């Protein structure tokens, strides 16, 4: 088993990575939540038939009283109505302050269940059991939980750290290829912002089979980078901003596709390519870097360009959580393996994007 500790004083927690770990969920969660009697397990309609039985059996063996709450799979479930329903479901279940919530699924499940756990009874114990590549390398670690509003993604949320993160790489075997590769966008991001050797390691392994052979190393490396960044800047006011490389523009592409045409990972892939080109135009990024990044992402079957109107760019930039007044901080690369925050007026960013990115 590979173990990492997120070192936040008073809120430390472990990330455990091991094949077959779902069958150990009960004993691992019991150690993290020793006082809990009841555990509400939140999952979605795709994951429930695959993995809920294994997890629930393990939880029962560890003495937990459980209830399974299944939401429809997809981003459309990450909303205020679904959140309110979970609150009522938890109360019907009889959840108390010493009990807990476990999120079994991808990023949507983790974000929604985490926000519900953070807010019900002013906060109960929370455990992440991510089952997608994107959730394992990114959204399950760091404590960001949220729901979407009509105005955009993740605009209502909180920082709420889990008590434990359990990652079973075996769950990735059931992912459709496009979903697996969409998660690889976030994996490549870590190499771009923090580790050139890791970026080169990934470019030498463009197939799913090659990546799967080294998946424990990949998960460990991504989570190690993220836990270091989170420990330095939990509330996303400084260093943690670099984790958003590709996201400001990626959110514009998700908006342009009405949150159905492009997955989050696909949008981030194109967003990183656009940010690389933006960095060149601003004199921050080396001219050869966008081509390197595009080659790496294209080899994984990810989009390197997504059409976007100036209106969608303006809407996404205007709502970006890294914005302050008329300015926004966009994350650029000054070399592969090193990201830098770049503050600029929102209006200028939108004009630049539209001028160089409106055609392929």
* Of 2, 335, 11, nearest in space to 136 by CA: 2
Identify the pLDDT of residue 322.
65
What pLDDT, on the 0 to 100 scale, is given for residue 359? 46
Task: Name 261's Cβ contacts closer than 8 Å, sequence gap at least 6.
Answer: none
Classify strands 327-335 and 323-324 as parallel, antiparallel or unpaired: antiparallel
- Supply 49's token pair: 């038939």
Please provide the CATH number assigned to the domain covering 177-357: 1.20.1090.10
Coil/strand/helix, residue 63: coil
CA–CA dist 266, 73 (Å, integer):
18
Is 99 within 8 Å of 63 (Cβ atoms)? Answer: no
Distance CA 116, CA 78 (A): 11
Q: Are the beta carbons of 15 and 223 closer than 8 angstroms?
A: yes
Side-chain-side CA neighbours of 350 within 13 Å: the count stands at 19
Domain ranges (residues) in the chain: 2-174, 177-357
Chain centroid, CA 325 distance in Å: 26
DSSP H or E run through 17: strand 13-17
Q: Which of 337, 319, 336 is nearest to 328 (CA)?
A: 319
Three-state SS at 62: coil
- 93 CB-near residues (< 8 Å, 6+ apart): 38, 40, 67
Q: Which of 62, 22, 332, 350 is nearest to 169 (CA)?
A: 22
pLDDT in tens, the chain (360 residues): 999 999 999 999 999 999 999 999 999 999 999 999 999 999 999 999 999 999 999 999 999 999 999 999 999 999 999 999 999 999 999 999 999 999 999 999 999 999 999 999 999 999 999 999 999 999 999 999 999 998 888 999 999 999 999 999 999 999 999 999 999 999 999 999 999 999 999 999 999 999 999 999 999 999 999 999 999 999 988 999 999 999 999 999 998 898 889 999 999 999 999 999 999 999 999 999 999 999 999 999 999 999 988 888 888 888 776 666 889 999 999 999 999 999 999 999 998 887 765 444
pLDDT at 356: 65
pLDDT at 357: 54
Helical spans, DSSP H, in the chain: 25-32, 53-61, 80-93, 107-119, 133-134, 177-194, 196-203, 208-213, 215-232, 247-256, 264-281, 289-299, 310-319, 346-357
pTM for this model (two decimals):
0.94
> Of the CATH numbers 3.40.640.10, 3.40.50.1970, 3.30.465.10, 3.30.420.40, which one belongs to the domain with range 2-174?
3.40.50.1970
Pairwise CA distance, residues 71 & 108, whole Å:
10
Read off the tokens for 323.
Answer: 């914005």
Contact 158, 111 (CB under 8 A): no
């Amino acid at each position: 088993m590979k173990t990492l500790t997120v070192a936040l004083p008073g809120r430390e927690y472990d990330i455990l990575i091991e094949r077959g770990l779902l069958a150990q969920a009960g004993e691992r969660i019991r150690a993290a939540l020793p006082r809990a009697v009841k555990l509400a397990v939140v999952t979605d309609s795709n994951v429930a038939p695959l993995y809920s039985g294994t997890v629930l059996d393990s939880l029962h063996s560890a003495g937990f009283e459980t209830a399974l709450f299944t939401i429809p799979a997809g981003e459309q479930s990450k909303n205020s109505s679904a959140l309110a329903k979970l609150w009522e479901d938890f109360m019907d279940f009889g959840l108390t302050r010493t009990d807990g919530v476990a999120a079994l699924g991808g990023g949507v499940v983790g974000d929604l269940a985490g926000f519900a756990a953070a807010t019900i009874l002013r906060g109960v114990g929370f455990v992440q059991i991510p089952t997608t590549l994107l959730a394992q390398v990114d959204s399950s670690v760091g404590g960001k939980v949220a729901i979407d509003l009509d105005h955009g993604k993740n605009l209502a949320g909180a920082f709420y750290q889990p008590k434990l993160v359990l990652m079973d790489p075996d769950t990735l075997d059931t992912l459709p290829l496009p979903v697996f590769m969409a998660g690889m966008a976030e994996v490549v991001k870590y190499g771009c912002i923090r580790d050139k050797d890791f970026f080169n390691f990934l470019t030498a392994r463009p197939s799913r089979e090659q990546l799967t052979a080294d998946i424990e190393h990949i998960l460990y490396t991504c989570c190690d980078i993220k836990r270091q960044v989170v420990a330095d800047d939990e509330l996303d006011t400084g260093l943690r901003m670099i984790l958003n490389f590709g996201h400001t523009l990626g959110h514009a592409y998700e908006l342009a596709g009405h949150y159905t045409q492009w997955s989050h990972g696909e949008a981030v892939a194109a967003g990183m390519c656009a940010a690389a080109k933006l960095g060149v135009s601003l004199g921050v990024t080396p001219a050869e870097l966008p081509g390197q990044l595009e080659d790496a992402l294209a080899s994984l079957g990810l989009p390197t360009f997504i059409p976007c109107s100036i209106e969608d760019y303006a809407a996404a930039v205007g709502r970006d959580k890294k914005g302050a007044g008329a300015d926004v901080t966009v994350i650029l690369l000054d070399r592969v393996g090193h990201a830098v925050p770049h503050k600029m007026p929102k209006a200028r960013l939108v004009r630049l994007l539209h001028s160089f990115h409106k055609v392929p």
